[in-house]
Every structure is written in structure tokens, then in C-alpha cells.
Amino acid sequence: MRELVLDAISADPDIEVMGEIQDDTKIAEIVNELHPDCVVIGLDHSDRRPSICDQLLDQHPHLKILALAAERNTSICYWATMNIRSNRVETSEQGILNALRGMGPADAGVYVQAINKKVQ
């Protein structure tokens, strides 16, 4: 499996291998340093998403992670998606400000109270 991925990557002129590490504990450090578009990692348990995926995708939402389980000849691609939402905005100054702050009508009061407490 590893050889298949390396062959595919090296045959594509638009992909550059930026580095390879042997120590899995260094993945986050290297990704933070190099800012790659994709990361290929080993997959120990195909029934669970590796915890490093959550950490990497939280810090680098553009990242695609290809997880390989060589002994099972399987792979899974992980990525983050943008969740687009909409909400009616109250036609008032406060409604507009709450919308720009990212607060919906239900939790706008909580947010305004929190801001008022910080100012005092």
C-alpha cells in the first residue's frame, strides 16, 4: 500500500513530497512547520478515526489526511467541511450586531450579557 501511494505521488508532477517522518508523535509539529495540503498517515484501527486527525483538522481545516492500513489494504481520506447555516436577522441594530457576532436570536441575550460583564 505504501509503495502504491508513493508511486502515485511521485508520478504526479503537481504533487511534491515535502518530507517523511518515522516518529508519529512528530506529525503535528511537522504539519505546523511545513503547512502541507495533504498528509499520509498510518491507520491502526479502520473502525476509528485517528485522534491526530481531529487535532490536525482543527488547526488546519484545509488539510486532507489519507490514512493507510497497509496490512488490511484499505485507506480512508479525512477532511473538514464548512457547515453553512442561515438564520433570520431581526431588523434592528441589536439584531444586526448579533448576526455579525455569530449569535442566533435564541442565544443573543447570553452573548450581550457576557459582553456587558467584561466591560464593567
Q: What are the boundaries of each domain within the chain?
A: 2-79, 85-120
26, 20 contact by CB (below 8 A):
no
pTM given for the model:
0.67
pLDDT at 57: 95
How does residue 6 score in pLDDT terms, banded at 50, 70 and 90? confident
Q: Measure the CA–CA gap between 41 and 62, rounded to whole angstroms.
A: 16
**Above 80 in pLDDT, residue 113?**
no
pLDDT at 84: 76
How does residue 108 score in pLDDT terms, banded at 50, 70 and 90? very low
Q: What is the mean pLDDT of residues 58-63?
A: 93
56, 28 contact by CB (below 8 A):
yes
Q: Measure the CA–CA gap between 71 and 73, rounded to whole angstroms.
A: 6
**Above 60 in pLDDT, residue 94?**
yes
Q: Measure the CA–CA gap between 29 and 105, rounded to whole angstroms.
A: 40
**Above 90 in pLDDT, residue 44?**
no
Count of other CB atoms within 10 angstroms of residue 50 = 19
Q: What is the mean pLDDT of residues 43-61?
A: 88
